[in-house]
Amino acid sequence: MNSILGLISTGPKIVFPSISYKAIGPEIILIVGALVIMLISSLAPSLKRTKAIGAMAFAVTAIALIDSIVLWSNFVSHGASRAIASSIVLDGFAIFLMITISSAALLSVLAGEAYLSRSRIGRVEYHCLLLLSSAGAILLASAGDLIVVFLGLEILSIALYVMAAFEKRNQLSGEAGLKYFILGGFSSAIFLYGIALTYGATGTTNIQKIASFLATNTVTSNGVLLAGIALLIVGLGFKVAAVPFHLWTPDVYQGAPAAASGYMAAVAKAAGFAGLLRILITAFPTQRLDWQPIIWGLAALTLVVGAILAIVQSDIKRMLAYSSINHAGFVLLGVAAGTAGGVSGSLYYLIAYTFMVIGTFAIVNVFEDSDTGVVPIERLRGLARTNPALALFMAVLLVAQAGAPLTTGLLAKFSVIAATVKAHSYILAVIAMLSAVIATFFYLRVVAVMYSKVPQDKVSESPIDDEEVLVFASGGDGDLGSFDRPEGDLAVLAPAKVAVARSLRISTEAKIVVGISILFTVGFGIFPNPLVHMADLAKLLF
């Protein structure tokens, strides 16, 4: 980027920066991996509908994860560094998020397999889009320049638009993708305009240079600069679903396949917050008094609106969408604090949320119906009887999201609220905790439904059960090969029993995803030290 800027000021001599491929290793792995998978699938079309594609995607994400961990250990021993003309920053913050994002991608490939073997469409495309969007997210996390932030944001978003619209048989999904695309384009334009204004005010798009410019110069007429910051916040606020830029979230999360929604919730948030934290805290520390009130207001609104609207939802995907908005409010607390404690609190929150939300959506996926994409909470009624293990795991993931002790959820909420109190934003801390109390209601509600029994008299005439029959019928139309269930038995089962049989069909991949999520959430809930220590080390490089 700098070379282009240099071009404008010094003449036609193009200086290429030295490129450290190691610094963008995970991005390269993910993008090359996606290309290789596309290539293989077009050379050997017979593979297209097999799990081999999923296995390859899994391998790619695993390598990316390992590479991120290698980068982390390098960072721990050698400290942070910059690369490619300072447009890439390899600090603890970036690498922590690389690990978060590549773990999310790894889990989502598995969850995606669980979804694709049910839905049987576009297996190759789904995985490739997922890999590409992760590459974008990682690029965003390690961006040291506003243009690179934008590049990462777009690579991430465009892939996500398609993933949202992936379930083409389902009208809601198409609608979701289109909405996301239009509004996303709108917010990208706003973000880009923010970059332009910032460039106008400071003469650079490099985050480090912006900071040093602002530290050494007093901007007398700072209207342009402040407007630029405001627009950057709006653009990223859209990605992280901060109120009032959240409106796409419920529609998209509901319309998209559950596996994709879980991925979006985790990765889009992690990447969006990476940008927000990096830009506000490293580029504009001098402008803190100007942006802090904005974030304060966004956080308060996001916390409250997310929690209250989640209560009245009856579709679990929509409920989780509003719950993700509420979670975004909590991460915003860390941003609003603007301190080192706030940053590490936000990071801890993001990684904890990543595992919880992907696990939750992987379970929701089991109950999803491909034609409408809806999952009424009622469909989980009595799950504790029919599949106690699944009900227990779902309950654990939900109460973890509510911030229950001995899960990562508690310490996540604890660390961001502690940072808020430390920054003396007592009112915001109170709002956050009130919203946490409200949030308990809707998580508990799902748990209560799972642990209550199916009313016997309603079995025959309940519309849910009719729907279950339809699902069964449509499932039966296709090839039954991969459904390992006794065909003969089902014909004689009562409708309610069909629901049971359906809920028991959980793919191995989904089991692994849920297992890892639970292990992570409870394991680091009981022994949080390593993770807390990591989040503590993951500082921003100024």
Partner 1 sequence: MEGLIFLIPAMPLAGFFINLFFGRFLPKRVVGWLATALVGVSFVIALTEYFHLLSLTSAARALAPNLFTWFAVGHLSIHFGAYLDPLSSVMILFVTGVATLIHAYSIGYMDHDPRFRTFFVYLNLFVFSMLVLVLANNFVVAFLGWEGVGACSYWLISFWFDRDSAASAGKKAFIINRIGDFGYMLGMFLLFEVAKSLNYTSVFGNIASSAAHGGHPFISGPQATAIALLLFVGAAGKSAQIPLFVWLVDAMEGPTPVSALIHAATMVTAGVYLMARVAPIIHLSSNAGTVIAIVGAATAFVAATAATAQNDIKKVLAYSTVSQLGYMFLGIGSGAYVAAIFLMITHAFYKALLFLGAGSVIHSLGDEQDIKKMGALYKLMPITGFTFIIAWLSIAGLPPFSGFFSKGDVLLAAYSKSPILWAVGAITAILTAYYMGREVYLVFFGSPRYREALTNHDGHGAHSEPHESPKVMTVPLIILAIASILAGVMNLGISSSTDFLTNWLMPVFGKAQANLTFGGGTKVILEVGDIVFALLGIFIATRAWSKTASNPSLEVGFLKKGWQIDHLFDSVFARGSSGLAIELNEIVDNEVIDGAVNGSGRLIGALGGSLRGIQSGYVRSYALIISFGVVLILGFVITRAGL
Interacting residues with partner 1 between 469 and 528 (CB under 8 A): 528
Q: Does 255 bind partner 1 (CB under 8 A)?
A: yes
Burial profile 300-310: b = 16 or more Cβ within 10 angstroms, e = fewer: bbbbbbbbbbb
Q: Cis before residue 45, ω within 30 degrees of 0?
A: no
Q: Does 376 bind partner 1 (CB under 8 A)?
A: yes
Contacting range for partner 1; rule: CB under 8 A; set: 156-164, 244-252, 476-484, 512-520: 244-252
Q: Which of 214, 377, 496, 513 binds partner 1 (CB under 8 A)?
A: 377
At 476, list the tokens: 């039966």
Contact 402, 436 (CB under 8 A): yes
Name the CA dihedral angle for 253, 259, 263, 264, rounded to a multiple of 10 degrees.
-20
Q: Which of 149, 165, 309, 391 binds partner 1 (CB under 8 A)?
A: 309
Q: Which of 11, 463, 481, 486 binds partner 1 (CB under 8 A)?
A: 463
Cβ neighbours for 225, distance < 8 A, ≥ 6 positions apart: 197, 198, 201, 202, 214, 219, 287
Q: Which of 411, 510, 513, 541 binds partner 1 (CB under 8 A)?
A: 411
Q: What are phi and psi of 374, to 5 degrees?
A: -90, 155
| One-character DSSP codes across 232-287 | HHHHHHHHTT-TTS-THHHHHHHHS-HHHHHHHHHHHHHHHHHHHHIIIIII-GGG
Q: Which is nearer to partner 1, 18 or 221 (CB)?
A: 221
| One-character DSSP codes across 475-505 | HHHS--TT--S-HHHHHHS-HHHHHHHHHT-
458 secondary structure, DSSP code? G
User: Which residues in the 129-168 window bind partner 1 by CB under 8 A?
Assistant: none
C-beta of 380: minimal distance to partner 1 in Å?
11
Q: Which is nearer to partner 1, 205 or 415 (CB)?
A: 415
In the numeric block, the tokens 């332009």 are attached to: 196
Q: Does 468 bind partner 1 (CB under 8 A)?
A: no
Q: Which of 88, 260, 300, 429 binds partner 1 (CB under 8 A)?
A: 429
Q: Does 275 bind partner 1 (CB under 8 A)?
A: no
Q: Does 537 bind partner 1 (CB under 8 A)?
A: no
Q: Which of 55, 311, 493, 494 binds partner 1 (CB under 8 A)?
A: 311
Q: Which is nearer to partner 1, 208 or 326 (CB)?
A: 326
C-beta of 529: minimal distance to partner 1 in Å?
5
Contact 219, 129 (CB under 8 A): no
List Cα–Cα distances, 111 to 262, 450, 513, in angstroms: 9, 22, 6
At 77, list the tokens: 């021993």
Q: Which of 36, 247, 498, 500 binds partner 1 (CB under 8 A)?
A: 247
Q: Does 183 bind partner 1 (CB under 8 A)?
A: yes
Q: Which is nearer to partner 1, 120 or 458 (CB)?
A: 458
**Gap between the Cα atoms of 344 and 71, Å rounded:** 18
Q: How many residues bind partner 1 (CB under 8 A)?
A: 86
Q: Does 200 bind partner 1 (CB under 8 A)?
A: no
Q: Which is nearer to partner 1, 226 or 279 (CB)?
A: 226
C-beta of 526: minimal distance to partner 1 in Å?
9
Q: Which is nearer to partner 1, 1 or 400 (CB)?
A: 400
Q: Does 231 bind partner 1 (CB under 8 A)?
A: yes
**Gap between the Cα atoms of 327 and 404, Å rounded:** 14
Q: Which of 55, 427, 448, 519 binds partner 1 (CB under 8 A)?
A: 448
Q: Does 371 bind partner 1 (CB under 8 A)?
A: no
Q: Does 229 bind partner 1 (CB under 8 A)?
A: yes
The residue type found at 17 is: P
Q: Does 374 bind partner 1 (CB under 8 A)?
A: yes
**Gap between the Cα atoms of 80 and 75, Å rounded:** 6
